[in-house]
A and B are shown apart, each in its own frame.
Chain A
Amino acid sequence: MDGLTAAEQREFQAVVERRQMREFMTMYSNLVQRCFDDCVTDFTSKTMNNKEEGCISKCVEKWLKGSERMGQRFAEQNAAMMQSGGSLGGAGR
């Protein structure tokens, strides 16, 4: 990401924004999947019961808080790794 000119950076920024939308949709559908799998187990009714609803909202909130926390740690680790000269692929580039 270092050697880009200003014009290239703008173009790359547009690429990043397109991907962010896609990332968001993926995160959303994964979260639906996760919370559904973990919370919804009773099929004696076609609507969610109170316990399931409570579980879903806690599941969503916890995931959001957890992924925010992991995001912070990830950024720190990544920065430390860059400083020590490595990159995520392992090969020093």
Chain B
Amino acid sequence: MEPLTSLQIAGYVFLQFIPVWVGMLVIFALSIMTKNRTGLYGKLFDSPIGMVGFALVLFWVLTAIFADAIMTHAALETASGMKNKLPGTPLRGAAEDDFQWYLFGGDNLARDVFSRMVAGSRIVLIIAPAATLFAFMVGITLGLPAGYFGGRADTILSFLANLVLAFPVILLFYLLVTPEIRAAGAEIRIWGGNTWVTSIPNILAAILFLFPILFLLILFQSRFFTQPMLRNILVAGTLLVGAWMYSGLAFNADPLGLLGMDPNLLNIFVSVVFVNSPTVFRIVRGLALDIQTRDYVAAAQTRGEGPWYIMLWEILPNARGPLIVDFCLRIGYTTILLGTLGFFGLGLSPESPDWGSTINEGRKLLTLYPHPALIPALALMSMVLGLNLLADGLREQSLKD
């Protein structure tokens, strides 16, 4: 069989992405039709830059969702004779119902670059937003009281935040994401016959993963303590689900056996959350300092509302504009950080299809076979660009109010 021409490659890639195109069309059509009723999200469709950004982000989100349908081969599958082959090379010895080509060529272990890129999007799009969300939970839970109450707690927390911020990120990763550090510590027997090592990443996980539960508990308690029935249901639900997820994620000892995190992944996740939360803390603290001088805060204080109610139900909703913008930017930054980790071969296993690791694998033969590194590099760039443009569009539209 003949190798595909560039035009044919583009055509086949277009066909593979059909679920994504359909999804994008539907979402865009619905969003534009209802844009007058969806607030800030709807206004996004008035800004061309915001729309381009949203389209790029949506593309990668849908790619991650439909990854199984888009991938032409398995991410780890190797085929003989496909090592470093150029894009569009027909698959040698392909069975009847196999996809007949390597659309973006093969890498140095004869795996399909196209499928690995698609598989990588799934990893990146799960870790980056989740880590950013956790960082926001930590930053908000600590930043609001620091800004609102001030005083000694604020001084200590700010000093700690500055301490982490003064740490060169790359050095922190080299110290925090190593196999040795995962082994450093005593083994403790916990429930269900599981053991837990008191290593630094595990301890950090145990602390950082508490914050989302804490945040939700305070959120519900401060608002609904006057309605004990509703409050009890919400608090009990949070505690139940929280305890289950916490035991699975932080201790890798889910009693139901559903949730769990690979120690490598946990290490990366915790490091990224740890690096991001001080910045979020500073932003939230600054916003809390600014907003607490407003009249509606004074009105709430006069009404006799508790401090946590004011922080979480008066200040936080009014800080949402800058926070949403920063959330988008921060997912992009986290994606870059994850890529950096992969680039240095830290954390995830080397055969993982995430973009950073693939770039690291591909760069060794870069001048001879550029495609294995170039494809994930472009993928990463387009997604971060989409998030940055989206953030810019949101900022522009939210300032127009």
Interaction A to B = no
Q: Enumerate chain B interface residues (CB-CB to A < 8 A).
A: none
